[in-house]
A = this chain, B = another copy of it.
């Protein structure tokens, strides 16, 4: 049976070149980068090389890149580190209703410990209105954190405008760019970003390695305390092979960016067009103009997401759902709710994300399978258009 993976926003396979770059650092060049002997110097050089590769992808300087264990840690560090360092200045944080749980749950943790958090609304396409940000700022605001690209609906936020507002008020601006990295052009200097979270496993690198960009001059408290790694800002023996893999993936993402965007957006557009032609009562969620190139977030009325997902899986197709029944948590997607999508539709929503390995034949197979699955489930369903 054909296998089609259309969940590149959940995670990506590691590219062979990336694995090849990593391999020597397990068995041969295993020295602890903090040690002083020759084999450790090679590890140190490898770290420096990877740091450069990640810096180049986002227009940063090497010493502004701090490796973490994942995007989640980068998010936690940014918000916890800013909250701790700036406690005397204020206790107010502004973020949005559509952030990843790494940000939302960190904010909830802080709320229970004396911080105030404003969660900005978004419009029906998932975009933050800069005027809302402006209005939410108080003299106690110490951090503004707005994601670059939403992971469910793929909406790209107006980061440059938002960062400019933060700057005008001299407030730190953080963005969770985990979904943006390698999918939209990013130049942190031009965009005016102070802190930015990244993760390797969304750009064909390994899982369990991320990074936080900290603009030169920005001071936040450390979050992992211990050894002097990462220029004394993030302790813990470095995930050497993981970092090398992240670096290689970043380099590939940089050199392939234009081609990657072209490839994924054209297949994504083809998918949406084919689905709309072949299946009734389908909605596309999010913005078509400001959108992650691989993302198609689609609602199929009258049926439920997990059921679709499982039927597709039985046909070798991997997609994801943000619906109630999709995961350990049964509450409907906070992102789709924030876009104002009615709950019954949220339950019928699937996220498809195409990636570098996706082909037109894959899409054709997915659409024809999807058509059958939707028909079958609509027959079973107790809800209908009549």
Q: Does A109 contact B (CB under 8 A)?
A: yes
Assess whether A328 is interfacial by the CB under 8 Å rule: yes
The answer to the question of A34 belonging to the interface, with a C-beta cut-off of 8 Å to chain B, is yes
Known A-B contacts A72-B237, A242-B239; A206 and B26 likewise in contact (beta carbons under 8 Å): yes
A235 contacts B by Cβ under 8 Å: yes
Whether the Cβ atoms of A240 and B207 lie closer than 8 Å is yes
A236 touches B5 (CB 8 A): no
Chain B, residue nearest A22 (CB): B26
Is A335 located at the chain interface by the 8 A CB criterion? Answer: no
In the complex, the count of this chain's copies comes to: 2
Q: Which B residue's beta carbon lies closest to that of A79?
A: B225
Bound together, the chains give a CA A319 to CA B37 distance in angstroms of 8
User: B14 contacts A237, CB within 8 Å?
Assistant: no
- Asked whether A36 lies within 8 Å of B71 as measured between CB atoms, the reply is no
Given the known inter-chain contacts A236-B69, A240-B208, A242-B208, please indicate yes or no for A27 contacting B39, CB distance below 8 A. Answer: no
Q: Do A105 and B225 touch (CB < 8 A)?
A: yes
Q: Given contacts A30-B11, A199-B237, is CB(A102)–CB(B225) below 8 Å?
A: yes
A106 close to chain B: CB less than 8 A = yes
Name the residue of chain B whose CB is nearest to the CB of A199: B237
* Complex Cα–Cα for A320 and B34 (A): 10
Chain B residues, Cβ within 8 Å of A225: 72, 76, 101-102, 105-106, 108-109
Q: Chain A 13-33 against B: per-residue CB contact (8 Å), 1 yes, 0 no?
A: 111101100110011101110
Contact residues of A with B, CB < 8 Å? 3, 5, 7, 10-16, 18-19, 22-23, 26-28, 30-32, 34-40, 68-73, 75-76, 100-103, 105-106, 108-109, 199, 201, 206-209, 222-228, 232, 235-243, 306, 309-310, 312-313, 317-321, 326-329
